[in-house]
Amino acid sequence: MSSLFAEELKPYILSGKFSDTELPEHILVNHILRHPFEKFSEQENEKHNNSPSSGEITATESPAESFEKIIVNLSFKSCSSEYQQVLLKFCEDKKLTTGHFYLAVNHHDDGVRAALRQLKDFYLQFKVEENLPARDKATITHETLPELRKYAADIPFREVYERSAIYIGYKLLWLIRLTLLGKRFPKGHFEMKAWQEIVHDILDQITQNDFMSILVEIDASAFFQIITIAFNNPSKQYDFLIKGRSPHVNLMQEASVTMTHSELIKRISDFCLALKEGNEVRLQYLFFIASIAEETQELRDKDFYYNVTIELIQHHN
């Protein structure tokens, strides 16, 4: 009976009709998510055991995609923190990247930072798996990823691409950009004060050396385009860095790092200028500096900008 109820309800969930409804935890656990949980586990077991389909597996969705669509269209605000952690752990263990990001951003104390940190870890995990000698699947690369456009959204073969390291890498970059622009996933926008804090948090996080090295490995050009968002003047993000963080009401709370344009440039410059001349990442950095120099007071140092210009000219010669 509960499985029939869940299947009947599924179209309404996927249409977003319950995305803002705070359903009681026992309803979510016992009547809405129980059947998708069981079905997902059954399908995963069949997939790994190469056993015949039970007839319930649709030809149009992978188990991961089907389950994640349900997760991101429900609100878990009424659920206990313990159950939210169960869901987060489940998504982490099954490498459900979209589901984990949604739950972390909307239902985790550390919010966006936790979501991006785990998405970075997913990228590294998929990368390790792709390098295993016994692996019998084709590795998706920068060159082959665009082939994904050929497949409709409901084609199961898309999962080969969508569960590749490079796809997860670009998802990480996309979600960083989306969040810096003040947009919540999967819909809506952050409140202004929350957005101001998030801009500082994200820029602090993604310009740490370990995080930065991964992002430029995925796509250096895309990384610098994202960083440029903070230097677009006029813009809210530019103003956030000028104004600093909102005052903290809780004096017992540990103060977070307040990012500035000069701190951003220092971190990125220290990282990129340590690379050899001619390195692709260093070259993208030089283009980035040249693109923001006119509007950025911190780049009025003539010697610094002169050296950047000379290196760019030498590269083109």
pLDDT of the residue at 254:
58
Q: Tell me how far apart the alpha carbons of residues 99 and 30 are, in angstroms, rounded to a whole number.
A: 19
Average pLDDT over residues 64-82: 85
pLDDT of the residue at 162:
84
**Which tops the pLDDT comparison, 65 or 154?**
65
For residue 55, is pLDDT > 60? no
pLDDT of the residue at 51:
45
Mean of all residue pLDDT scores within the chain: 83
Q: pLDDT category, 52, cuts 50, 70, 90?
A: very low
> Under DSSP, is residue 246 helix (H, G, I), strand (E, B) or coil?
coil
Cβ atoms 73, 13 nearer than 8 A: yes
pLDDT digits (tens, 9 = 90+) for 218-267: 999 999 999 999 999 899 999 999 999 876 544 444 568 899 999 999 99
pLDDT of the residue at 250:
46
pLDDT digits (tens, 9 = 90+) for 140-153: 888 888 888 887 76
For residue 281, is pLDDT > 90? yes
Closest by CA to 61, choosing from 49, 70, 52, is: 70
**Which tops the pLDDT comparison, 272 or 307?**
272
pLDDT of the residue at 136:
61
pLDDT of the residue at 183:
94
Q: Tell me how far apart the alpha carbons of residues 228 and 285 are, in angstroms, rounded to a whole number.
A: 11
pLDDT of the residue at 165:
94
pLDDT of the residue at 120:
97
Q: pLDDT category, 158, cuts 50, 70, 90?
A: confident
Token code pair at residue 52: 């015949």
Closest by CA to 179, choosing from 153, 205, 213, is: 205
Closest by CA to 241, choosing from 222, 215, 264, is: 264
pLDDT of the residue at 252:
44
Q: Tell me how far apart the alpha carbons of residues 103 and 95 are, in angstroms, rounded to a whole number.
A: 13
Interacting residues of 71 by C-beta distance below 8 A, sequence separation 6+: 87, 91, 96, 99, 102, 103
Q: What pTM was computed for the model?
A: 0.85
pLDDT of the residue at 14:
81
> Under DSSP, is residue 190 helix (H, G, I), strand (E, B) or coil?
coil
pLDDT of the residue at 240:
95
For residue 125, is pLDDT > 70? yes
Q: pLDDT category, 57, cuts 50, 70, 90?
A: very low
For residue 58, is pLDDT > 50? no
Average pLDDT over residues 274-281: 92
Query: Counting beta carbons within 10 angstroms of the beta carbon of residue 202, is it exposed (0 to 12), middle (13 to 18) or buried (19 or more)?
Result: buried
Q: Tell me how far apart the alpha carbons of residues 146 and 165 are, in angstroms, rounded to a whole number.
A: 14
pLDDT of the residue at 274:
94
pLDDT of the residue at 16:
82
pLDDT of the residue at 101:
92
Cβ atoms 231, 292 nearer than 8 A: yes
Q: Residue with structure tokens 């869901």?
A: 87
**Which tops the pLDDT comparison, 81 or 268?**
268
**Which tops the pLDDT comparison, 51 or 20?**
20
Cβ atoms 65, 85 nearer than 8 A: no
